[in-house]
Homo-oligomer: A and B are copies of this chain.
Amino acid sequence: MAKQLFDFPNGADLTLPVLVKSAEVRVAKNGKKFIAFNFQDASGHISAKFWDASADDIAQFKAGEVVLLHGKRELYQGNPQIKIYNLRLATQEEGNDPTAYQERAPETADDMGEELNSFIFEITNPNWNRIVRKLLTDHKQAFLTYPAAKSNHHAFTGGLAFHTLSILRLAQSVAEQYASVNKALLYAGAILHDLGKTLELSGPVSTEYTMEGNLIGHIVLVDEAVVQAAAELRIDIHNEDMIMLRHMILSHHGLLEYGSPVRPALLEAQILHNLDDMDAQINMLTTAYQHVDPGTFTERLFGMDNRRFYRPENGKGYPDPR
């Protein structure tokens, strides 16, 4: 297999086809235009600046195009970037199918769908089971392809499903260890908690927040879907089952300041919040560790309260978290 972006160390020259993930045109302090690129292939994404961009450059090097990149990997203020020697659109032979360059979850959509089904099978409460089954069926395509967030964590194709599955696997361990935990409720909440991302985000590629995402927010967007599903399935939303399930979703950010309209008031809601946090953090940290050398600190991580983390000299290998 051909070498990919993250197969090249700092200081190495490289020539390879990559996908333009985003291309923002800006004006430099000298008055000329430049393009701030984000290049991507299946191994990850990296930024680069293209100086003195002509109108032609701007017209052809757009997000979604595959380009042949000739440049050098450098460190800029501690973060890797590409210094561009040369850039042109990739030919058919060089491989210009954009879908081949996306970062993806480490498991296929089919495998993830199947494992999700095995968890749904254990949701023994019929109200929860029917709601979950209906909503997953209705949003299957988006659920299996969307990222879990625009950039913070699991920001890759299939990230939403993969993040959900990771929580479910942790939830299984917790339910086995603590007899007091209602496994069916925990699973149902885990599967639905971020389903609203399919409405909040614009899609699996070049992801942005939608207007609904900004004005309603993904938490209430799932709630809306649950309310509608219950109506279609003729399940009374005022019975205890439904109030508990909605509470799982509404409270999963843990704190009002983080956008939950209520704080967890059920054991399982508290656990879901903890597992959601922990899986997102492990993903963020493992990704950040991959970008720095052993014995150094990562850049400040926005999603971790701007802390920097230390990658030990003699620690683990930090394989790709996806």
**Cα distance A317–B182 when bound, in Å?**
9
**Cα distance A317–B181 when bound, in Å?**
9
**Cα distance A259–B257 when bound, in Å?**
8
Within 8 Å of chain B (Cβ to Cβ): is A231?
yes
Q: Known contacts A227-B227, A282-B180; is A214 also within 8 Å of B315 by CB? A: no
Within 8 Å of chain B (Cβ to Cβ): is A285?
yes
> In the complex the two chains form, is B240's CB within 8 Å of A313's CB?
yes
Chain A interface residue count, CB cutoff 8 Å, equals 85
**Cα distance A315–B247 when bound, in Å?**
15
**Cα distance A52–B30 when bound, in Å?**
8
**Cα distance A267–B180 when bound, in Å?**
29
> In the complex the two chains form, is A30's CB within 8 Å of B28's CB?
yes
**Cα distance A169–B177 when bound, in Å?**
8
> In the complex the two chains form, is B180's CB within 8 Å of A170's CB?
no
**Cα distance A307–B264 when bound, in Å?**
8
What is the copy number of this chain in the assembly?
A: 6
Within 8 Å of chain B (Cβ to Cβ): is A308?
yes
Within 8 Å of chain B (Cβ to Cβ): is A217?
yes
Within 8 Å of chain B (Cβ to Cβ): is A129?
no
> In the complex the two chains form, is B278's CB within 8 Å of A216's CB?
no
**Cα distance A261–B240 when bound, in Å?**
23
Cβ 8 A contact of A215, one of B274, B310, B321: B310
Within 8 Å of chain B (Cβ to Cβ): is A319?
yes
Q: Known contacts A30-B51, A223-B220, A259-B256; is A316 also within 8 Å of B215 by CB? A: no
> In the complex the two chains form, is B257's CB within 8 Å of A289's CB?
no
Chain B residues in 8 Å Cβ range of A315 = 182, 185
Within 8 Å of chain B (Cβ to Cβ): is A286?
yes
**Cα distance A314–B297 when bound, in Å?**
46
Chain B residues in 8 Å Cβ range of A77 = 26
Chain B residues in 8 Å Cβ range of A308 = 214, 265
Q: Known contacts A28-B30, A169-B177, A266-B309; is A282 also within 8 Å of B289 by CB? A: no
Chain B residues in 8 Å Cβ range of A259 = 256, 261-262
Q: Known contacts A173-B173, A220-B223; is A51 also within 8 Å of B76 by CB? A: no
State which residues 206-237 of A face B: CB under 8 Å: 211-212, 214-217, 219-220, 223-224, 227-228, 231, 237
**Cα distance A181–B282 when bound, in Å?**
9
Within 8 Å of chain B (Cβ to Cβ): is A318?
yes
> In the complex the two chains form, is B265's CB within 8 Å of A316's CB?
no
Within 8 Å of chain B (Cβ to Cβ): is A202?
no
> In the complex the two chains form, is A289's CB within 8 Å of B180's CB?
yes
**Cα distance A214–B26 when bound, in Å?**
36
State which residues 156-174 of A face B: CB under 8 Å: 166, 169-170, 173-174
Chain B residues in 8 Å Cβ range of A321 = 178, 180
Chain B residues in 8 Å Cβ range of A12 = none
Shortest distance in angstroms between A139's beta carbon and chain B's nearest beta carbon?
Answer: 14
> In the complex the two chains form, is A214's CB within 8 Å of B265's CB?
yes
Top 10 A-B pairs, shortest CB-CB distance: A173-B173, A28-B29, A31-B51, A29-B29, A215-B247, A180-B286, A261-B261, A274-B278, A30-B30, A267-B285
